[in-house]
Chains A and B, each alone.
Chain A
């Protein structure tokens, strides 16, 4: 018994000595995703929202990918939250997807921004990459460019004639069609988001940050997005997807919940 304790102490001694050339212990970060409409937590399934174009609408669910999540230093250098592509699937129906933890040691220090890719970039967005649900259910048809939906935002809106129409606000690789029906070219619609912030990460401390998706911005930030004009489906409508993505760049905000004490 005594010997065990002794060994244990020896071991403890050895541990820090291995880290000679890494003076500071790493920090960690936890990101919570919050979907909001006009500042309030998203409430699904009730026709309580009106967009910039004046369409009353409701949302049933939002399923989306973000990737290459990283903290940014003032010199522009990046500290990724994961060692791989850092692809995260988020789903308003699955609460366990709402929290992201850094999966690699994060260098303590001062960071001036959070950066990520909305959706999947061209290199990452390859068909067959995800075989398991729920990610696999996001697949984007091969004929439309393949890979995965960046986002499925589903809901319904009330048309001027009073009828309720469903919409699938689905974003992914876009297509340019010839005069007939064949796609002649594909368009990468993913985009990068940079959110300035002032974050000081301390060694051995976890910092909590909230990433907010301001859902109404998808329909308003740059172009008032009119469901009566664009209709219920846009996977084969690059003009609509382009406007949507231009709006989407402004749909995110970051809030520091607890700076590490």
Chain B
């Protein structure tokens, strides 16, 4: 039932299409979309910039780059550094307190300079909309266009003297010269000419796929695991005001990220003059001494604890919340046990709370081969 006009239209379009085709030698660039499944109870809104959608090709390239020590822009064995130097999978993408070089888990860059804060884990970051870094200085909507998202963390890590101390131009040129890499960039981004922007994009894509959602507690939520009496009691303590009262800031059953990704002064110090707190980002004097509440997944591996690594063990953290919380003008109202010094847990309750926190230990994530060091790099 095609009428004359439609027919002519179709023919014309056909002409037009083929005309375009002949001009362009390369096939159109169509990478495979990467399907990120939303785990049970997790938010459905993802923080993915519109100009960097997840693709299979991008993620797999990002994985190479994340682990490739030549990201420092250098090839000498002594001056290699990659994201994985500090962000180690088996330690929840943190260095670990027993690191052979970074004593106590305190990291420093290639120049020897120590980082301002201790490392943050790279876990479930795609659900963080409020800011990356301990003080959230990188966030979507920042008036600074160069401090928006994980892509920018890549550049910072490469340049910063307390990290790779490198130079984006040199890094880009080095990877252009490495056999195999240009082809992978072509597959991921449609051009074999490597740009630093595309290096940022690929690594950010990989980091966004680091999802932990298979801890015993997740299985408990899905009805596949029974918490032990001690774990269950720990969970109740975590979730109640009369108990340990952690859930307002660190989530729980209704927020399995185990953080709000928001910024609080949790009562560690009475005098507040830190240089890089939340106040340094927002200028809001009520946020002096505030830092991001980190997620508690795999928390037993996240030491040293707090932005300055002041606590070496989880027991010290629990003791702090129990007995050593101190008042200050900007202490968050959610720390409402402060005048008693904390939530006053008994030794038995502390053990239960710890048992519950250990239910957030996700061995599937820590051993997921998709997140691990590639066996071979593209030029090997």
User: Residues on A close to B: CB < 8 A?
Assistant: 45, 60, 127-128, 131-133, 136-137, 139-144, 148, 154-156, 159, 163-168, 170, 232-233, 235-236
Complex: how many Å from CA A234 to CA B236? 16
Report yes or no: B43 in contact with A144, Cβ–Cβ below 8 A: no
Could you pull out 15 A-B pairs where Cβ atoms are within 8 angstroms?
Answer: A128-B254, A133-B43, A140-B254, A141-B239, A142-B253, A143-B240, A144-B240, A163-B327, A166-B332, A166-B335, A166-B338, A167-B333, A167-B336, A168-B241, A236-B241
Given known contacts A132-B44, A163-B339, A165-B339, is B252 in contact with A139 (CB within 8 Å)?
A: yes
Given known contacts A132-B43, A144-B240, is B333 in contact with A166 (CB within 8 Å)?
A: yes
Report yes or no: A131 in contact with B43, Cβ–Cβ below 8 A: yes
Given known contacts A131-B42, A132-B43, is B336 in contact with A233 (CB within 8 Å)?
A: yes
Complex: how many Å from CA A142 to CA B286? 32
Which listed residue, A132, A144, A148, A167, touches B45 by the CB 8 Å rule?
A132
Report yes or no: B129 in contact with A232, Cβ–Cβ below 8 A: no
Report yes or no: A137 in contact with B253, Cβ–Cβ below 8 A: no
Report yes or no: A127 in contact with B254, Cβ–Cβ below 8 A: yes
Across the interface, which residues of A come within 8 angstroms of B332, CB to CB? 60, 166
Give the total number of A-B pairs whose CB atoms are below 8 A apart. Answer: 86
Complex: how many Å from CA A223 to CA B367? 57
User: Residues on B close to A: CB < 8 A?
Assistant: 41-45, 129, 236, 239-242, 245, 247-248, 251-255, 260-262, 286, 327, 331-339
- Please, which residue of chain A has its CB at the minimum distance from the CB of B236? A143
Complex: how many Å from CA A124 to CA B261? 26
Across the interface, which residues of A come within 8 angstroms of B339, CB to CB? 159, 163, 165
Complex: how many Å from CA A170 to CA B338? 17
**Shortest distance between the CB of B341 and any CB in chain A (Å):** 12
Across the interface, which residues of A come within 8 angstroms of B260, CB to CB? 133, 137
**Shortest distance between the CB of A59 and any CB in chain B (Å):** 9
Complex: how many Å from CA A168 to CA B335? 9
**10 shortest interchain CB distances as A-B pairs:** A139-B254, A232-B336, A166-B333, A141-B239, A154-B333, A233-B241, A166-B336, A132-B43, A235-B241, A132-B45
Across the interface, which residues of A come within 8 angstroms of B239, CB to CB? 141-144
Report yes or no: B248 in contact with A168, Cβ–Cβ below 8 A: yes
Given known contacts A128-B254, A139-B253, A141-B239, is B336 in contact with A168 (CB within 8 Å)?
A: yes
Report yes or no: A136 in contact with B331, Cβ–Cβ below 8 A: no
Complex: how many Å from CA A167 to CA B331? 12
Across the interface, which residues of B come within 8 angstroms of A164, CB to CB? 327
Across the interface, which residues of B come within 8 angstroms of A165, CB to CB? 336, 338-339
- Please, which residue of chain A has its CB at the minimum distance from the CB of B253? A142
Across the interface, which residues of B come within 8 angstroms of A141, CB to CB? 239-240, 247, 252-254
Central interface residue in A45, A137, A140, A156, by most chain B CB within 10 Å: A137
Complex: how many Å from CA A219 to CA B314? 39
- Please, which residue of chain A has its CB at the minimum distance from the CB of B252? A141
Complex: how many Å from CA A236 to CA B254? 18
Complex: how many Å from CA A236 to CA B236? 12
- Please, which residue of chain B has its CB at the minimum distance from the CB of A136? B255
Report yes or no: B254 in contact with A155, Cβ–Cβ below 8 A: no
Given known contacts A131-B41, A131-B43, A143-B239, is B254 in contact with A168 (CB within 8 Å)?
A: no
- Please, which residue of chain B has its CB at the minimum distance from the CB of A60? B333
Across the interface, which residues of B come within 8 angstroms of A156, CB to CB? 333
Across the interface, which residues of B come within 8 angstroms of A167, CB to CB? 333, 336
Report yes or no: A155 in contact with B333, Cβ–Cβ below 8 A: yes
Report yes or no: B236 in contact with A136, Cβ–Cβ below 8 A: no
Across the interface, which residues of A come within 8 angstroms of B335, CB to CB? 166
**Shortest distance between the CB of A54 and any CB in chain B (Å):** 19
**Shortest distance between the CB of A46 and any CB in chain B (Å):** 10
